[in-house]
Structure 1
Amino acid sequence: MQPLFINLTSQKIVIAGGGRIAFRKAKNLDGERAHITFVAPVFSDEIIPFAHQRGYELIQREAQPEDFKDAFLSILATNNRDTNQHLAKSLDPCQLVCVVDEAGEGNVVFPAAVRRGPLQIAVTSNGASPKLTRKLKKQLDEQFDESWTGYSEFLAKCREHIKKLSIQSAEKNGLLAELLDDRYRLSEDERESKWAYLNSLK
């Protein structure tokens, strides 16, 4: 499978299921500014207040193939293997589909992700070993601590500023390369000093 990062802003996401796994997938997607709809005969005590708070739609009945007709991303997370399989077979092969209990029936796998501001690091074993995936995520969480959040935001801000400078490409590349020095990650004072310097350039 080819790893991709996809912009889900304003896209329609339909989740079949109203339990723990459906809730966990929705939590992963929360913040993407997507339109999420849950379809299930019963919703957990977690999903109902979560959906109401976020403005997500709840349809209380068994999921049907028609529910996914216009979905950009479909997540099949019912607690019934036959239902998930039937829905997966009924969907357009051009749609993005995640089948939570049988990854091979869909074309999307949710990786374990570490997010530090604009920086995202994702890892998956494609179902071969979820335990390995969790282990690697834990290691990445420890390696990329919260210092990377401010640092990655700083890098994004600097890059946008440097792109607009009236200097040669080689000079821009030199400035961008220098920002990779670890002192800018470890010291807010260093970041502020560098930002002041960059703002002095024309």
Structure 2
Amino acid sequence: MQPLFIDLTSKKIVIAGGGRIALRKAKTLDGENAQITFVAPDFTDELLHLAHQRGYELIQREASADDFKDAFLSILATNEREANHALAKSLDSGQLVCVVDEAGEGNVIFPAAVRRGPLQIAITSNGASPKLTRMLKKQLDEQFDESWTGYSEFLGNCRDYIKKLSIPPSEKNELLAELLDDRYRLSEDERERKWAYLQSLE
């Protein structure tokens, strides 16, 4: 498996299933500005609430292969193993498919992820040990606390600004490297002083 980060903006995602697992996958994708469609005979109240709130499409019937023909990403999350298996076999091998109860039948795995602003850290055991994945995610959650949110946003803003400065590339690299000093993560005042300094270089 090759880890990738994919922009799902405006991409069509079809989820077979209307229960707890389908909802969990949808919540993971919520905020990605994707076009999500659920196909299932029944939907939980919580899933219905999310779909109405976000404008996701609901198709109330058993899913079929035709439902996924235009999907950028297909997620098979019914509560029936045989249904997921049959759908997985019917889909084109070139499609992105996540089979939630048998990862080997698809080609996409949802990693456990820690997000702090632009910073994303993802981890998976490729199904070997979900408990290990959860344990490591918990450790990363603690290691990368909320201080990394403002810091990573600061780094992004500084990088964009430094790239536009009319100074030699070597000086740009020195400025970027210096920003990795931990004092900028720990102190908003330090970030503000550094930002003011960068603006003075223009």
TM over 0.5: yes
- Report the counterpart of residue 100 of structure 2 in structure 1: 100
Structure-to-structure mapping, 1:95-174, within 5 angstroms: 95-174=95-174
Secondary structure of the structure 2 residue equivalent to 1:46: helix
1:186 corresponding residue in structure 2: 186
Q: Write the distance in 2 (CA, Å) between the matches of 1:71 and 1:172.
A: 42
How many residues align? The count is 202
Are 2:23 and 1:23 equivalent residues in the alignment?
Answer: yes
Match of 1:58 in 2: 58
Report what 2:2 is aligned to. 2
What amino acid sits opposite 1:51 in the alignment?
A
* Corresponding residue for residue 198 of structure 1: 198
* Aligned twin of 1:70: 70
Unaligned runs of 5+ residues in structure 1 are none
Q: TM-score, normalised by structure 1?
A: 1.00
Is 1:32 the counterpart of 2:32? The answer is yes
CA shift digits 1:13-50 (9 cap, x unpaired): 00000000000000000000000000000001110011
Root mean square deviation, CA, Å: 0.4
CA distance in 2, matches of 1:195, 1:99: 46
Give the structure 2 partner of residue 80 of structure 1. Answer: 80
2:109 alignment partner AA: V
Q: Runs of 5+ in structure 2 lacking a partner? A: none
The residue identity in structure 1 corresponding to 2:158 is C
Partner of 2:49: 49
Q: In the alignment, what sits opposite 1:176?
A: 176
CA distance in 1, matches of 2:74, 2:131: 25
- 1:191 Cα offset (Å): 0.1
SS of equivalent residue, structure 1 residue 127: coil
Q: Distance in 1 between matches of 2:38 and 2:126?
A: 25
Q: Name the amino acid aligned to 1:35.
A: Q
> What amino acid maps onto 2:167 in structure 1?
I
**Percentage of matched positions with identical amino acids:** 82
Q: Which letter maps to 1:171?
A: E
Runs of 4+ aligned structure 1 residues displaced above 4 Å come to none
Distance 1:135 1:116 in 2: 18
Structure-2-length-normalised TM-score: 1.00
Q: Deviations over 1:59-98 (max 9, x none)?
A: 0000000000000000000011111011001111111000
**Counterparts of 1:155 and 1:60 in 2: how far apart (Å)?**
46
